């Protein structure tokens, strides 16, 4: 029988044999919190906003299959299988912030919440320790990037952490409904995010889906202001072209306007981003090209699984599967350009 897991920040706590679900199982440092349940097991750590290393041990007497998520449905560890009697140790780094999800969303629960889920969750131990010097990847984006609060939605930034090892952390400041202009103007967005940028931080910027009536000159000016704002803090900006919308032509290729983000004024957002990247000397992740290739490869029927076509008749927002695949495309592009060290990639 799977037992509950209890741990305090900075303290290792294990699950004794026979402990009842939801029961406190040990004593550690200050801030001891209770973890409850068996499927999933949810554990809360009373820690301040910041960056933390997490080490987990998975497995037990029966076979297990465990995934780990944090805060607002951020995937930290893909489902990991352990054989009977096997133990597996995994480490990762997590960002704790307020609000814990979208910057304009609800504050959420103070501290750090970890959720051990999967077909047969089998957490055996966990340790949380401060990691103030972790390498950070900050995300500036819209609803296709953000930490979506509810199923079946997922932004690709929500799935990116599972591909990173301890020492690298994703801080997702994507926010639903934002354009390049509104992200600059809202006090909760770039004016709040820019001061958080530290020297050396990688900042990925993907804004286009909501720039439906933004002219080319204004769009380029907005993105330039974001890039300049990151550089002013010593950060390393990279421009990301938007994920495609799933709109097919009769010949099973994507529509040149709606799908490929040409707005009502005729502004081709991906083309503008590519040109601006070259002009500003800013690294480019051409996610439009990468996601177009993937969607057209799958075709009109199979590509539905990447989006919320069946669930919501939504061909813009991604499912967990789509967000996970697109996060991998982003990661591979960062690796190819050596924007993230290979040693930090899972």
In whole numbers, what is the pLDDT of the chain averaged over residues? 90
Give pLDDT, residue 37: 84
pLDDT in tens, 318-346: 999 999 999 999 999 999 999 999 999 99
Rg of the chain taking only CA atoms, in angstroms: 21
Band of the pLDDT at 246, cuts 50, 70, 90? very high
Give the pLDDT confidence of 141-162 residue by residue, as tens digits: 999 999 999 999 999 999 999 9
Mean pLDDT of 202-231: 98
For residue 22, pLDDT over 50 is answered with: no
Assessment of whether the complete model's pTM goes beyond 0.85 = yes
Q: Which is nearest to 13 in space by CA: 130, 129, 127?
A: 127
Tell me the C-alpha distance between 174 and 327, whole Å: 14
Assess contact for 102 and 172: CB atoms under 8 A: no
Domains of the chain: 13-130 (2.60.120), 135-344 (3.40.50.1110)
pLDDT in tens, 77-118: 999 999 999 999 999 999 999 999 999 999 989 999 999 999
Sorting pLDDT into bands at 50, 70 and 90, what band is 34? low
- Region 4-25: what's the mean pLDDT? 34
CA–CA separation, 174 and 178 (whole Å): 8
Instruction: Determine the pLDDT at residue 36.
Output: 79
């Amino acid at each position: 029988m799977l037992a509950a897991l209890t741990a305090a920040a900075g303290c290792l706590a294990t699950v004794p044999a026979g402990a009842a679900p939801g029961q406190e199982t040990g004593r550690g440092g200050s801030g001891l919190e209770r973890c409850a349940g068996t499927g999933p097991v949810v554990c809360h750590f009373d820690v301040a906003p910041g960056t933390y290393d997490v080490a987990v041990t998975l497995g037990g007497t029966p076979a297990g299959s465990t995934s780990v998520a944090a805060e607002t449905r951020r995937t930290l560890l893909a489902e990991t299988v352990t054989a009977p009697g096997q133990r597996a140790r995994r480490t990762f780094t997590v960002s704790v912030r307020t609000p814990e999800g979208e910057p304009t969303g609800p504050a959420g629960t103070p501290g750090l919440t970890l959720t051990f889920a999967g077909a047969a969750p089998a957490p055996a131990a966990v340790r949380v320790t401060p990691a103030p010097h972790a390498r950070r990847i900050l995300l500036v984006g819209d609803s296709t990037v953000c930490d979506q609060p509810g199923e079946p939605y997922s932004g690709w930034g929500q799935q990116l952490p599972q591909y990173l090892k301890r020492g690298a952390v994703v801080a997702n400041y994507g926010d639903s409904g934002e354009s390049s202009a509104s992200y600059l103007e809202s006090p909760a967005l770039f004016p709040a995010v820019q001061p958080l940028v530290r020297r050396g931080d990688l900042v990925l910027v993907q804004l286009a889906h909501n720039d439906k009536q933004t002219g080319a000159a204004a769009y380029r000016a907005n993105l330039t202001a974001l890039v300049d704002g990151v550089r002013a803090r010593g950060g390393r900006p990279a421009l990301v072209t938007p994920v495609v919308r799933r709109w097919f032509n009769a010949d099973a290729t994507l529509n040149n306007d709606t799908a490929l983000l040409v707005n009502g004024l005729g502004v081709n957002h991906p083309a503008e981003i590519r040109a601006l990247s070259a002009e500003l000397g800013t690294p480019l992740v051409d996610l439009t090209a990468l996601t177009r290739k993937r969607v057209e490869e799958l075709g009109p029927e199979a590509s539905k699984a990447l989006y919320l076509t069946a669930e919501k008749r939504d061909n813009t927002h991604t499912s967990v599967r789509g967000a996970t695949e697109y996060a991998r495309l982003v990661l591979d592009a960062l690796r190819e350009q050596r924007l993230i060290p290979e040693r930090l990639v899972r």
